Structure 1
Amino acid sequence: MPGFCEKQSKTPECTRQTAAAPDARQFSLSGLWRARKIYCGVEAGLRDQDKKKDWLAMPELSLAEDIKLDLAVAMPGVASGYDRHQWVKYGTCSGMVADDYYGRALKMLAVVNASEVQKLFADNLGGTIREEEVKAAFDTAFGPGAGNRVKMRCSKDGDRRVITGLTIGLGEMDDGGRADDLSALIAAAGETKFGCREGVVDEAGLQ
């Protein structure tokens, strides 16, 4: 999140970010996407509103109170209506209701944030980490080859290249006891190019 905020410092979620906030040391949730499927059953007016990024004017999601509270922490972009955008564009294609969609995403995020991957990033705040280190952390946390199913994104910030996100590939799994097994989901995904080969783990509050 701090890396994202280097370029989006005026958004509500970034103006309120502090070094003590959970998103300063842990991964935040961007979304849970089904490849090549968007805006399933969404009427044209709402699609247009979403594309204009007029997210806070879109209908508020009806979520259970515990999901709503957890999501506001895990996805700081809720302050900008980002949860509504993610649901309208991607969640509507998930085959789930909003509570289940975000509940599942929150469980996966919690697993990543309790793993060697989060430890690697937290231990290197302000420093540079490289592709092989990230892949090794994923392999340790989720099994051999997991790191080959991850893509890292970076953005230029002056003379630095800061890390702005990780995309984790997930395979199609049924609900026969493994649908929430993150290691199994990652193993079922195809391999991908890693993307940004090294970047700075940005610290909060240094825009």
Structure 2
Amino acid sequence: MSSMQLRTLAFALSMVLAGAATAQEGGGRTRFILAASWQPAFCQTNQKKAECASQTGERSDATNFSLHGLWPMKQDYCGVSAEQKAADKDGKWNELPEVTLSAEAKSALAKAMPGTQSGLERHEWVKHGTCTKMSAEDYFGVGIHLVDALNASAVRDLFAANIGKTVKADAIKAAFDKSFGPGASDRVKMSCRRAGSVRVISELTIGLSEDAGTASAKSAVLADLIQGAGKTSFGCDEGVVDAAGF
């Protein structure tokens, strides 16, 4: 091989390696969002909703994250009729078709997603679930599995240990990186809302890779799905971890 060919080969190899390094630094691409609510904060401004009127300090959602939804990126209302779409957008969720689930799945979803008391699962399926290739059983099964993994992490422990207190973004980021690997917090956005004069943490939206969109994600490792997603800004810099009750 001539010296010119060797130089050309070396240059090509260096470009491949540089491209791989850049891709690794930038992370993957976010294909799904896991939306996890802190229910007491949601209920501060939605006190008349059934799941809020019935909330107690002993119920699971008082000290754990609740499943809001699993959202495919840039897709919604796939194959949904105009009538159902209009009803959903008008907030008439109980007029939407009932979601067909096994008794076991219904029970698990009622615990993970208190909003089922207001028909939230019908809204989530019509708007988001229809844009996956999963059945309703698998779609909600994946969401339940992922929010359970979040609730088994240092992130949930941090929130539960600081109810009624202000928690800063840096502490939450550190908990994400501890539980889900270095850089996991770069795939998370935190939302806050005002409840009177207090800014409370209302929701975490967590970027996930395309593997979150298959039935096999019911046994997936949440850290792997997060690490395969793209980066985002964290959003709210601090907020109070609200306690159950108004």
- Calculate the TM-score normalised by the size of structure 1: 0.96
Q: Offset at 1:179?
A: 7.3
In the TM superposition, structure 1's runs of 4+ consecutive aligned residues that sit over 6 Å from their partners are 174-179
Q: Hey, which of these two has a bigger chunk of helix by percent? A: 2
Contact conserved, 2:145 with 2:219, CA < 8 A, in 1? no
Contact conserved, 1:116 with 1:137, CA < 8 A, in 2? yes
- 2:84 — aligned with what? 46
Q: Does 1:77 pair with 2:115?
A: yes
What are the superposed Cα offsets for residues 127-168 of structure 1, whole Å, 9 maximum, x if unpaired? 010111111000000000001110011001122100110000
- 1:181 — aligned with what? 221
Contact conserved, 2:49 with 2:118, CA < 8 A, in 1? yes
Q: Offset at 1:59?
A: 1.2
| CA root-mean-square deviation | 1.5
Q: Does 1:62 pair with 2:100?
A: yes
Q: Offset at 1:109?
A: 0.8
- C-alpha distance in 1 between matches for 2:45 and 2:78: 30
Higher relative contact order (CA 8 A, sep 6+): 2
Structure 1's 79 and 175: CA in aligned 2 closer, same or farther, altered over 3 A?
closer
SS at match of 1:190: coil
SS at match of 1:203: coil
Matched residues, percent identical? 49
Q: Offset at 1:182?
A: 1.0
Contact conserved, 1:2 with 1:204, CA < 8 A, in 2? yes
- 2:238 — aligned with what? 198
- 1:155 — aligned with what? 193
- C-alpha distance in 2 between matches for 1:184 and 1:33: 17
Listed as ranges, the matches of 1:165-180 within 5 Å are 165-173=203-211, 180=220
- Calculate the TM-score normalised by the size of structure 2: 0.81
Listed as ranges, the matches of 1:87-126 within 5 Å are 87-126=125-164
- C-alpha distance in 1 between matches for 2:140 and 2:207: 17
Q: Does 1:144 pair with 2:182?
A: yes
User: Which letter maps to 2:233?
Assistant: K
Q: Hey, which of these two has a bigger chunk of strand by percent? A: 2
User: Which letter maps to 1:19?
Assistant: G
Q: Offset at 1:48?
A: 0.5
Task: Please say which structure displays the higher CA radius of gyration.
Answer: 2
- C-alpha distance in 1 between matches for 2:57 and 2:103: 27
Contact conserved, 1:149 with 1:186, CA < 8 A, in 2? yes
- C-alpha distance in 2 between matches for 1:180 and 1:105: 11
SS at match of 2:68: coil
SS at match of 2:208: coil
Q: Offset at 1:172?
A: 1.6
Query: What runs of 5+ residues in structure 2 fail to find an aligned partner?
Result: 1-38
Contact conserved, 2:142 with 2:215, CA < 8 A, in 1? no
Structure 1's 177 and 119: CA in aligned 2 closer, same or farther, altered over 3 A?
closer
Q: Between Structure 1 and Structure 2, how many residues are aligned?
A: 206
Query: What runs of 5+ residues in structure 1 fail to find an aligned partner?
Result: none
Given the alignment, which residue of 44, 49, 55 partners 1:6?
A: 44
User: Which letter maps to 2:184?
Assistant: A
- C-alpha distance in 2 between matches for 1:20 and 1:41: 40
Contact conserved, 1:55 with 1:85, CA < 8 A, in 2? yes
